[in-house]
Amino acid sequence: MLLYLQPSLPQIFRACYSHFYVLDHLYFMQIALAEANAAAEAGEVPIGAVLVQNETVIAKSGNRTIRDTDPTAHAEIVVLREASRLLGNYRVADTALYVTLEPCAMCAGAMIQARIPHLVYAADDPKGGAFRSCFEILSSAKLNHQVSVTPGILADESAALLRNFFAARR
């Protein structure tokens, strides 16, 4: 479920490419997709999340709502809880959260409370997304913290995983 202090982005990428920022996004989103796949294999909705600090994975997980019988055990919440415990602080500044689906309102609220500075997500969620699809929580000037967001990284792969998961259940 959770793996801590993973090695940072492979050095070969840095040696071969000067634009490794985009490669960072791809690399960490691929880890999130692997977590989403593992969640699907466990019968959970396939959403994965990875929290990164200084190019190091601090925590990663897929959805655990069914396994934990906990409606709040979305991948993002599980990762934020574990990272807070490991870092010894409920504020997880200087991090980036990678998620395979646009976060819901609950997860967006948790990100605000944790002071996540940056979110990278794959696919939009037209039925519950809280960045731009249904709500605009993460960028609301009414709140005391806003999150910068990079949407659309590996969106097709994430959307296909969700589509296939739900098609198999119909």
Give the CA radius of gyration of the chain: 15
Interatomic CA distance for residues 31 and 112, integer angstroms = 23
Options 35, 44, 76, 102, the catalytic residue:
76
> Among 106, 19, 109, 10, which Cα is nearest to 56's?
10
Contacts of 115 (CB under 8 A, 6+ apart): 91, 92, 93, 145
Burial of 23 per CB tally in 10 Å (0-12, 13-18, 19+): middle
Cβ proximity of 97 and 114 under 8 Å: no
**Whether residue 76 lies in the annotated active site:** yes
Residues that are catalytic:
76
